[in-house]
A and B are shown apart, each in its own frame.
Chain A
Amino acid sequence: MINGLIKAIANLEEETTLRLVKEKIASGETPLEIVEQCRKGVEIVGKRYNEEIYYLSDLIMSEEIFRRVMEILEPHFPKNTNQNKYKLIMGTIEGDIHDLGKNIVINLLRSVGFEVRDLGVDVQPEDFVKCVKETGASIIGISVLLTFSINSVKKVMRLLEEAGLRDNMTVVIGGYPVNERIREYTGADYYETDAVKAVELFKRIIMEKE
């Protein structure tokens, strides 16, 4: 059933969303229930984006609304409820400081329940591998916008191989210039150029892993 909050988020009605969230808290709904409704709203936003009803400007708006909702909810979350979320590492490759696409994907992933470790931009290949060892994550998303940085992605793959971590690892590359040819060249498992489709891809990968 689509309630008012889901609808408000789906329609990107900022003020209505925030008002409804506050009302729900006052009436005793738990933060988790509220987040779940927001997630459904964001899902509809993603669907509309796929159907070209919404565009990037709208995704950014939905992300902003979600951010403000989380700001309101933050103090109401019980402490230390680290649920078993699926862990994923993400970063923009060395030599590249573009983070718009990466941030959109990360925010969408978080809104659907992923735990994302964001390594930021200009990430050295070694640091991806180090983070795998630290977190035990088995999915890496690498954002690459500059063709010049493609070789660094290849290096990540080589280092994973050398560390014996390649077999259980799924590596997705994303960003405007990537295509099948570049995926093949780097040795990554998947590529995606669309933020919403990337989230679908990560969901599929998890299903396969489970």
Chain B
Amino acid sequence: MSEKMQQLYNERLRRYQAAIALEMPDRIPISAGSNYFAEVYAGHSNQEFIYDVNKWTEADVKFVNDFPEVDAFRSGRFWGPLHDAVGFNMYKLPGRDLSPRTQFQFVEGERMKADEYDLLINDPVTFLFERFLPRTLNDFKEPGSIRANMALIKGSIASGMMGGFMRNRSIYLQNELGMPNSMGGVFLAPFDYLADGLRGLRGVMLDVRRQPDKILEACDALIPDIVNAGLAIADPLRRSPIFLPLHRGAFPFLSPKQFDELYWPSLKKTMLMFIEAGYTIRAYLEGDWGPNWHHFRELPKGKVLCDIDVQGDIFMAKEELGGYQCIAGGMPDSMLILGTPAEVKERVKLLCETVGKDGGFIINGGCGIPYDARPENFRAMIDAVLEYGRYSDTFDFEIQMNPNPPAGWQPPKRRVATPWEVKLQELGGVKGDEELIRKNWEMLEHMAFNWLFSWMW
């Protein structure tokens, strides 16, 4: 990395991290997951950047060159060929099922039946192979068939390739463009695993009334696997927060009582485990989380960046979360799409003078910049931040970067399908260093489990 890029990278990352940690950077940072604004801005259709990974880098370069004031961002993470390899039916993709210029979309479904909680809880490997995956991966409808075996092989190869693309992209962004990732790795709230991919929204909402105890039990049982799967793809240097898109905890899906009993406890436990492992979290509070913001005060200060969606009131969010967690947002999507640069400038000025004035604030749209935002409005937003969002010329904050977890930290038990003891018995003992063989056996078993788990949403 050139010295200039290193300097630029550090400057941006330091500003971003300082805001998350509730310190005062030199100015209000600008950071989003781009929600495909960068890619569309670069002139690509949604299909192109979902099917052609080279388009990601092209888009990154153009975006960073034209908007160098952005401090951290992330572009696409869907790679169509990976979905096609296994016939993943949880999303409709642009160019395949939808017009090439529209957004990919989630497909609701009941991929786990109401009476399958116990199997999920007690034997997730069997649950995945025999129940969930045949309903979720169209190429895996008949486990054991050639088609199904090929799907597993193609899918794991494609996942490995995808991991490579993401890694190379991060390195390119860092070394060539001096741009940090706004997030690395991802996990969901345990309840959302049930509500999104497993039971589906309708299913889980009926379970809330019919079998709440099973929901609770399943949420708790999922935590260790969620944490391990999240850690497996998080930034090994702990610089970027882990992405946490939050879905069905929004108002008015659950009543406050249902939220407190069924949604929050397992989510809090999960977040604390990531924080204890030395990470910060970037939570997209999608929809209106107003009634539940106060819960985020229960977590260690400055560890969870909360993106406030357009349905939430950013000024109220500041009142509730100020001094506890950094918040991001404030730019209404409809203004970025339909408004004028003058309106945008006024809005940013207001945000800087109010929610942004004493730190703990990052400017963004509602959980991302809409991809149909007018570029001149995005430009106006940035210019206005430079004009009104400055705190000082210098600031003290040391970049947080650590390849090691805090002393004494242990990951949750890593799940495998076939324990080493079984393998060892089959081998009839080994002749050399058992540890060397066991370690790698378990690593691959565990990675394979994470791969299966990754299809749950």
Contacts and interface: CB of A to CB of B under 8 A. Distances in A.
B205 A148 contact: no
A181 B333 CA distance: 11
Size category of the A interface is 20 to 34
A14 B209 contact: yes
Given A12-B209, A146-B102, A58 B107 contact: no
A77 interface: no
Contact of B333 (A49, A122, A177, A185): A177
Contact of A176 (B201, B205, B209, B311): B311
A97 B255 contact: no
A181 B102 contact: no
A147 B255 CA distance: 27
Contacts of B334: 147, 177, 179, 181-182
Contacts of A55: 251-255, 258
Given A55-B255, A177-B333, A148 B338 contact: no
B105 A58 contact: no
Given A54-B255, A56-B253, A60-B206, A97 B333 contact: no
Interface in B319-349: 333-334, 337-338
Interface in B173-208: 201-202, 205-206, 208
A55 B254 CA distance: 6
A177 B288 CA distance: 12
B338 A181 contact: yes
Contact of A95 (B98, B107, B210, B251): B98
A186 to B, nearest CB: 10
Contacts of B202: 60, 64, 100
Contacts of A56: 205, 252-254
Interface residues of B, number: 32
B142 interface: no
A61 B253 contact: no
Nearest to B288: A176
A98 B105 contact: yes
Interface string B306-323: 000011000000000000
Interface in A148-171: 148-150
17 contacts: A52-B252, A55-B251, A55-B252, A56-B254, A57-B253, A58-B255, A61-B205, A64-B202, A95-B99, A95-B102, A96-B105, A97-B92, A100-B108, A147-B334, A148-B102, A150-B337, A177-B333
